[in-house]
Structure 1
């Protein structure tokens, strides 16, 4: 009897456009049309210069892919063998023909299709498979016109993306290009089988009580197609402990033919090995093995395996002194979720390999991050992404694929969304890393901005929502939570939107007392100084960020004309999609740094100098956000902030953006600022902030700006010092606070030494509102100084932080006395005779540093940096270098 076999149709494909007669070979499938055209030198690389404009015509054409395959030798209805074509993903409007007969029409990029074809196969000839892709924008425009009952409100991009179930960022975003590609973006497979295991689900409960054993109770469900007599199931725990059972309890599934659902009896295990986020425990995984057994009791017809981790995940939303909490509790332990938002790693998705995904998640883990948010304008990522998160202990906040729009709810659209949601939940629900499913990204901001109908407290009738001016509420508050409960009743959490605070918190009106917030009064909105970030938080900050240039080596790869390699050139501006970036980036840099320094710093390279200042600005802002909001983690019962996610970790093409790591996986200094702020034990220091400039949005604004007294930065100084810990046990050490003259590098007063017992999994306040008294200083006149706080545990400095007077541009940095040594192969030692702001090594692809973008304080421990992948001397700069 035939077993289940799978043949991937990856080679032998060819493509052409509707305007061409000649078919050209395809490199391989998965594929998309832009990469194939590039490989044939028919279009330039759209990532370079302004070539994005030169390839816009590609999105306007209809494109076809085709291949041939032979009929499987064991195919045929007479023997009961099924033959299916499986399309894991077609992007997006696709008509599929087999031997000139239409077998499929697809209009959702996120949906897998399975088509039974044994009755269509050729007996004595090859089978011809062809897929025709129509332009997504043209079809989107047709759908908009076909549904005048909906107001298609779409932010960031063209209105046509609203009714199209395609990766929304393909229409462009404020960090990405407009590249409306198409093609078979996931594998195409030919399957033959008598019996097939269509789905496996493991429901479980973990019972935890103090002083008693932890108990795991699990039930295994399987959906089988074909004449299976029984199922054999093995649950393999770490250490190869195997628990086996046979599933005979079956019932008809809601499909015609021999389709069965099997359910196991409940399994019980005491003190099982659980899956933990990184830093909190091991990432133990089990394997579920299911075999379909024929009527003879021994023949294996089909077999499936899934890795699964058992963990108890809770989203804690309790009333407290700050409003209502919002944080994750995993296996009974409160977890501060410091991490990043993730966008697709490439505009052309088939170019992202499993190893690329692994490299990205390893980078995240190296940066002391514990969570990643898959943003709703991209894709449900590849299995390799989530597997890497499982193995490395990274929590996943998974958005459903809706972003920045008021989506329609006509019947065909809702049906497609339901299929999409169920399929992807079934694919991903066994991953222990996937902790939260979220309805959308920022769609509720349109309610406030356009005054759409939305009565959260009084209207609880889902059918009425469909008739309102905000019908998508039906998707986020009824359809999706129902699907989550159906498909993963025991292990998945659901949150209607990001941001969301019981119907109140949006990106326009941040409510810091409830839910998660997107804090865009930094950069966007009022464009407040980054120094105000400690007062701009919330219960969970799921987006915030600052734009910065990538390193010059990256810039040189996408700007090929030397004359265009300058700040503000047409090409550089083209590779910065952020709204009003010309004003905002210059404003932020100009407020904090001397722009004239860009004319001579970085060995006479003005572009490198400007890029460096933007990077230091981003690192200062992002680092301040993580340090101050992690400080608000507080203690059990008083978790004022439950997590911070920077917008964004990565880029989909080489660009100037909010990313802390660029398209080539080259890290910006902000990455290291997060790494230091999220260390298991991290000390923080912050001084009282004095505005030195006034803005139209400020309450103090008036024509006479004399109220801004720059002398207060010298005379009114107070500061706080604290230690944040993610360790599950207390730590004993000492905090040393120094006050170091920027002018001389000498201490301006005696240091403060505090013995501390650092609270486990929380924040310990060391000094609060500590006033600096010049009468106790060792200098005759007040002068600017750096405050450095260092944490020592067991005689080792485990963390340090510095606080500088603002703004940096008012300070002078003559002769810093920097020394850079290489005491051994792969190790660099950096020290200075006077305080140094923003010391940055120029990074490039293939070079890996353990630290970068740091400040230097004389008399401190030398900064040791491990270097991998470079045999050349590293170039470096700092703020004020001449």
Structure 2
């Protein structure tokens, strides 16, 4: 028997099992060569061709300058990874079975072992396992290599679409045109309006060599992962652990009083047959162990997997429930799964973590009783309920974290997720044009879902179809089916998973095409086949604890059983499904009549520039540091070119929208220092983005108490894929934008917000709560002039019912709003709310300016910064009010600022004379290149600095 040491990518996180029959292929000696052999370099696994070329010094960092253009030659070539298998093959014996396990190949590749063809693969999102025993033992011409020959995805797509029977799509081009819907690959690899188009290729996830023998050794210690559970005779290829209520399905509501059902499914390859295998599940924290659970027979077969399933019940009330962190405790338990063959000693045992929760997407019509009692507009519901309780969904959308998946780390992803939780978010939407996010490092390269479980944030999951009409044929369906099944089974164990959507935005596209094209019904029929039937049926077969929706943004359903998509079958005046809002006319950014009246808004955003610090990471020449320089504009893909034209010929539109927004609402940046002017321009676009998004969030949250009964707002978008113009709230380096702090404030459980209707000069101040109990407190409204003089103040008590609002001020006409004798441009209103929530005091503040800050008569604030211990800073305004006072941390550091009084992330506030603020920088040491930043390197700015040094 071959016994090798398991090497793992993150040794500090996972133990090394000296007895495990698993070898990480990263420890073979790999080479990478191009098609004609002119490039032959050392390589890694997991990796991608760009990354290995970078390590070899052939190219510079792909994200520098205009490398997304100059490095297109890499996309146009074919790349081959090769490793000598001699360290493995020399030890194989006749009773040893060798399995080759790939958790991700990107994308079109021929796999060869010892000169034998193994497979041609064409799906980045699938896991592949092969029995290669006989191939290794009988090499062709003494060939001892493992070879993965990757074909250019771009040229593959061109070849496929050149076929006479290839169906064309009337939509879907961002950069590389016309091919992505034919390739099961990250769709944004071909370009999107917030990122580059590198079209990478490689063995981008971990790969392993697993050996099995007909041994009967008894396992005494459970493995930390199913991959590590093999003791010699059994390999667990897949595992699914799903927890739901008895009787619950994806379309049948959970009875919250019912017992819990724990369902375990294993995909097994075994060299030993078993007529009566058994399974046990233990939850030590609950002192719960199942009976011996009988399984169906397991044959002696390693050419394919055998699926075995068992379930058992746990009485209701025994486990504590998992909640998102802003609503409770994300309670997790250890589940030890043990497989035995024919009553013999344990064949495999592993421990995984999961939690008990129900998460349901409610899409049924409101009852007449609800309509009458609550004044709800007729139509269907569209909101989530956790453990039987409707809650307000607050969150963002995520995109791929890097153009090159293989270099992402768990530390980087954890930071983004921790930032989301710190800002009060309870759900992230995993956008359907990117990647199926992984569960753990061992198989996925980095942690995602397991961190969501731990931190307490839901993940709305999507199948990878986005903004295109996908051709329906057997070739596509045969590739997609195992892709979808594998990923759903993998994600099942995660209590953070909230739903599966069929894809991103396609329902609206196909409705439009059906109405506008003469053959539109053809595309509608194909959509119905793929998303209304094929994918729907697969999800419901594999999943019973979360819902399926055909699309991220949808009109909802006519029926769940049978599944009937509503499309345009709507009654005027009724509200259905969910909504998006993108409006790039800054003049109506705060016009509430342009906001959707919706049950749930799952996408809304406005783009902004990254900070000066991020531009320093990628701009190479001093003249590039200008708002409309060629290189800066080349990183604005809004709207996208729709072709390979470079730089983006449409960038002037996106740049122009940001320019107009800043000029309308803020002092136009212009100083004698060109770098400061550029920095202030970048920052000012972020201020407008934050103001706009905070306004929308407040409006949608207000809708909980109105006819739409809005119960969800997901901002587009959370993270960046590179240093460029995007809709993100966190930059590529992990630096928080103004929006991230703005969301932290407006995502507070109790918020106060001034709604101003410019058309009739009406101001309404509301307090909104997302709590499940009545919240009481007080609101304070204080007027100041820009010199910092307090003009008047009032305090109003309030009581807000469950998920509702309370009006605390209303007036019409500026003369009745601003203090007597004052001009609107001379004053602003500070709004504070204090409430008791979850046995603690919660505070939150907002500001109202009767005119824009571009018109406000600002005065030099004379900001001083006094450093203290542990990276604390006391900020004082010595001269006047400083709108959007902002403290920047130095280059090379990652972290956020928190208010020392409230303990909440805080930045970008109005600094008022006599009201000092103390901030502490919370450093992330794992990601920061500077371990002990110098307080002198921290920079303070406000909108005053838009026009003053």
Tell me whether the two structures share a fold, i.e. TM-score over 0.5: yes
Are positions 1:225 and 2:269 aligned together?
yes
Tell me what 1:813 maps to: 858
Partners of 1:140 and 1:604 in 2: CA distance: 43
Aligned to 2:538, the other structure's residue is in SS state helix
Partners of 2:769 and 2:780 in 1: CA distance: 17
Match of 1:15 among 32, 41, 61: 32
Tell me what 2:742 maps to: 673
Match of 1:515 among 577, 582, 588: 577
Are positions 1:752 and 2:776 aligned together?
no
CA pair 234-625 structure 1, distance change in 2 beyond 3 A: farther
Aligned to 1:754, the other structure's residue is in SS state strand
Match of 1:165 among 178, 184, 203: 184
What does the per-residue CA deviation read over 1:822-880, in whole Å, with 9 as the maximum and x for residues that have no partner? 45442223343644322222344414222454232637853332113432232122113
Tell me what 1:486 maps to: 541
Partners of 1:192 and 1:298 in 2: CA distance: 21
Is the Cα–Cα contact under 8 Å of residues 811 and 817 in structure 2 kept in the other structure? no
Aligned to 1:828, the other structure's residue is in SS state strand
Match of 1:427 among 478, 481, 490: 490
Is the Cα–Cα contact under 8 Å of residues 508 and 554 in structure 2 kept in the other structure? no
What does the per-residue CA deviation read over 1:254-298, in whole Å, with 9 as the maximum and x for residues that have no partner? 999997554435323230222111122221223333233244x44
Aligned to 2:684, the other structure's residue is in SS state helix
Tell me what 2:157 maps to: 140
CA pair 766-857 structure 1, distance change in 2 beyond 3 A: farther
Are positions 1:878 and 2:942 aligned together?
yes
Partners of 1:781 and 1:466 in 2: CA distance: 59
What does the per-residue CA deviation read over 1:193-224, in whole Å, with 9 as the maximum and x for residues that have no partner? 22233444445443799999663233434443
Partners of 1:775 and 1:426 in 2: CA distance: 58
What does the per-residue CA deviation read over 1:183-202, in whole Å, with 9 as the maximum and x for residues that have no partner? 11111211122223344444
Tell me what 1:698 maps to: none
Aligned to 2:58, the other structure's residue is in SS state coil
Tell me what 2:434 maps to: 378
Tell me what 1:99 maps to: 114
Are positions 1:643 and 2:700 aligned together?
no
Are positions 1:836 and 2:882 aligned together?
yes
Tell me what 2:442 maps to: none
Partners of 1:535 and 1:604 in 2: CA distance: 36
In the TM superposition, 1:96-495 aligns within 5 A as: 96-122=111-137, 127-146=144-163, 148=165, 150-153=167-170, 154-157=172-175, 158-193=177-212, 194-206=233-245, 215-226=259-270, 227-228=273-274, 231=277, 233-237=279-283, 239=285, 241-250=287-296, 261-264=307-310, 266-271=312-317, 272-295=319-342, 297-317=343-363, 318-319=365-366, 320=371, 321-322=376-377, 323-383=379-439, 384-451=447-514, 468=523, 471-488=526-543, 490-495=544-549
CA pair 769-324 structure 1, distance change in 2 beyond 3 A: farther
Is the Cα–Cα contact under 8 Å of residues 334 and 354 in structure 2 kept in the other structure? yes
Partners of 1:483 and 1:620 in 2: CA distance: 42
Tell me what 2:13 maps to: none
Q: How far 1:513 moved relative to its partner?
A: 2.6
Q: How far 1:796 moved relative to its partner?
A: 6.2
Are positions 1:24 and 2:24 aligned together?
no
Partners of 1:267 and 1:44 in 2: CA distance: 56
Is the Cα–Cα contact under 8 Å of residues 223 and 253 in structure 1 kept in the other structure? no
Aligned to 2:755, the other structure's residue is in SS state strand
CA pair 433-536 structure 1, distance change in 2 beyond 3 A: same
Q: How far 1:815 moved relative to its partner?
A: 2.2
Tell me what 1:40 maps to: 56
Tell me what 1:708 maps to: none
Tell me what 1:557 maps to: 617
CA pair 211-43 structure 1, distance change in 2 beyond 3 A: closer
Tell me what 1:701 maps to: none
Are positions 1:58 and 2:74 aligned together?
yes
Partners of 2:835 and 2:522 in 1: CA distance: 62
Q: How far 1:363 moved relative to its partner?
A: 1.3
Tell me what 1:710 maps to: none
Q: How far 1:588 moved relative to its partner?
A: 1.6
Tell me what 1:705 maps to: none
Match of 1:779 among 821, 830, 842: 821
Tell me what 1:588 maps to: 661
Is the Cα–Cα contact under 8 Å of residues 282 and 337 in structure 2 kept in the other structure? no
Q: How far 1:563 moved relative to its partner?
A: 1.5
CA pair 534-745 structure 1, distance change in 2 beyond 3 A: farther
What does the per-residue CA deviation read over 1:754-785, in whole Å, with 9 as the maximum and x for residues that have no partner? 11223344433333456665499453666642
CA pair 573-787 structure 1, distance change in 2 beyond 3 A: same
CA pair 86-738 structure 1, distance change in 2 beyond 3 A: same
Partners of 1:380 and 1:682 in 2: CA distance: 34
Tell me what 2:224 maps to: none
Q: How far 1:687 moved relative to its partner?
A: 2.3
Match of 1:792 among 830, 834, 848: 834
Aligned to 2:591, the other structure's residue is in SS state helix
Is the Cα–Cα contact under 8 Å of residues 883 and 911 in structure 2 kept in the other structure? no
What does the per-residue CA deviation read over 1:363-408, in whole Å, with 9 as the maximum and x for residues that have no partner? 1111111111111111101211111101111111111111111111
Greater mean deviation of Cα atoms: 854-863 or 137-146? 854-863
Partners of 1:386 and 1:138 in 2: CA distance: 34
Partners of 1:351 and 1:381 in 2: CA distance: 14
Is the Cα–Cα contact under 8 Å of residues 99 and 131 in structure 2 kept in the other structure? yes
Tell me what 2:589 maps to: 530
Q: How far 1:806 moved relative to its partner?
A: 3.4
Partners of 1:807 and 1:247 in 2: CA distance: 68
Structure 1 residue runs of 5 or longer lacking an equivalent are 456-463, 691-715
What does the per-residue CA deviation read over 1:495-524, in whole Å, with 9 as the maximum and x for residues that have no partner? 111211136789xxx99932121211x22x
Aligned to 1:417, the other structure's residue is in SS state helix
Q: How far 1:426 moved relative to its partner?
A: 1.2
Partners of 2:628 and 2:573 in 1: CA distance: 36
Number of matched residues? 832
How well do the aligned residues superpose, as a CA RMSD in angstroms? 3.2
Structure 2 residue runs of 5 or longer lacking an equivalent are 3-18, 213-232, 440-446, 557-564, 640-652, 899-904, 924-932
Tell me what 1:765 maps to: 807
Is the Cα–Cα contact under 8 Å of residues 587 and 661 in structure 2 kept in the other structure? no
What does the per-residue CA deviation read over 1:80-106, in whole Å, with 9 as the maximum and x for residues that have no partner? x43211111111110011111110100
What does the per-residue CA deviation read over 1:90-135, in whole Å, with 9 as the maximum and x for residues that have no partner? 1111001111111010011111111111111137978310110111
In the TM superposition, 1:536-575 aligns within 5 A as: 536-537=595-596, 538-575=598-635
Is the Cα–Cα contact under 8 Å of residues 253 and 261 in structure 1 kept in the other structure? no
Partners of 1:736 and 1:222 in 2: CA distance: 58
CA pair 660-445 structure 1, distance change in 2 beyond 3 A: same
Is the Cα–Cα contact under 8 Å of residues 234 and 242 in structure 1 kept in the other structure? no
Partners of 2:555 and 2:101 in 1: CA distance: 41
Partners of 2:266 and 2:620 in 1: CA distance: 55
Is the Cα–Cα contact under 8 Å of residues 137 and 160 in structure 1 kept in the other structure? yes
Partners of 2:111 and 2:349 in 1: CA distance: 29
Aligned to 2:691, the other structure's residue is in SS state helix
Are positions 1:657 and 2:726 aligned together?
yes
